[in-house]
Structure 1
Amino acid sequence: MLNFVAVLEEGSKTSSTVDDKLIKDIAKGSMEALHTLYEKTHKSVYTFALSITKNTHDAEDILQDTFLKIYQKAADYTSYDKPMAWIFTIARNFALMKFRDRKKEDSMEEVSDMPEAIFSFVEDVSERIVLETAVNKLDENERTILLLHAVSGLKNREIAELLDMPINKVLSKYNRTIKKMQKYLEEEGF
């Protein structure tokens, strides 16, 4: 039987802490600090963008735009000991702009399913397909919380701050999502 959480967490790495000093160094023009910040956070930012857009190309664009904006606006960063919340706010704003741009173009096509790249660590192709299908059955909030926790390695407290939700709501949504996933996987014979 496929242990969903174990499989997802296999591909995740615990997110390294990001402190205000990195952003202050970026504000001073340090490319090394920007590189360090990118290395510590790019997977989480990409996963977050992907959970919103469900499109790899858009998520990659948002990732690039986010780090460009960080470099440009680091001097405007106000220290609240929550640099990840600031970074995710930037990424979320770019994701919302993507949706607005699509609506303006009046070509809002149905967004694609979760890409297999996010589950590339699952070696068995059939398990990967079932996992992708199960994640696609979740609503946006469930998918975002699940992917931020399991794939990006964020703690529930960090997710609560990022999504501006009470921690108990994040915990209950996460637990319900896991049960929903387990039920689906059991129905599929895993």
Structure 2
Amino acid sequence: MTINSMDEKLLLQQIAEGSEKAFAVLVEQKWNNIYWQAITYVKSSSQAQDIVQDVFLKVWQKRKDLPQVERFDSYLFIMARNHIISALRKKTVLPLSDDALEVEEKNYLPDRALSQKTLAELIARAVDLLPQQQRTAYLLSRDQGLSHEEIASNMKVSKEAVKKHICRALNFLRSYISVHSEITTILSMFYIIMS
């Protein structure tokens, strides 16, 4: 079941009153949007899932404010963006400015979420096409955040081999995305036009 705007207001009211069933419906409907938004930036499935859980925990904690929210998708998008910025700050040595992911509520469009989801799917397909060693090195680096030394130890290869595997993987991913992004853009535009 999808949520239309009338149902969404009722759902938010029920959540504000403490309905766990209504909250479960909301989570089911909105989970993927936040997940794809998060994974686009953090590049780690487990970290993206943690962000989604944190966002929904915050929604539940602030549930009494939900009936006053005019545009819930934008509200959720901005809340997710703030959690992503926080996760990226923890991951980087240099502080990340709010400008890096700054998106005003008025600038959020549903097709942007679609393009983020499409890009994440495109990357996932490209990763699946990588040779085994390159895929393993790439995933250990991006999904688990391991250093080159840790990856070398894990894969039982030299640090130089790890660098080559990751470099080749990134080059392939860039090429694959550039070739397929035009097709994806056309398909995305078609989807938007037809929906």
TM-score by length of 2: 0.47
Q: Which one has the largest radius of gyration?
A: 2
TM-score by length of 1: 0.49
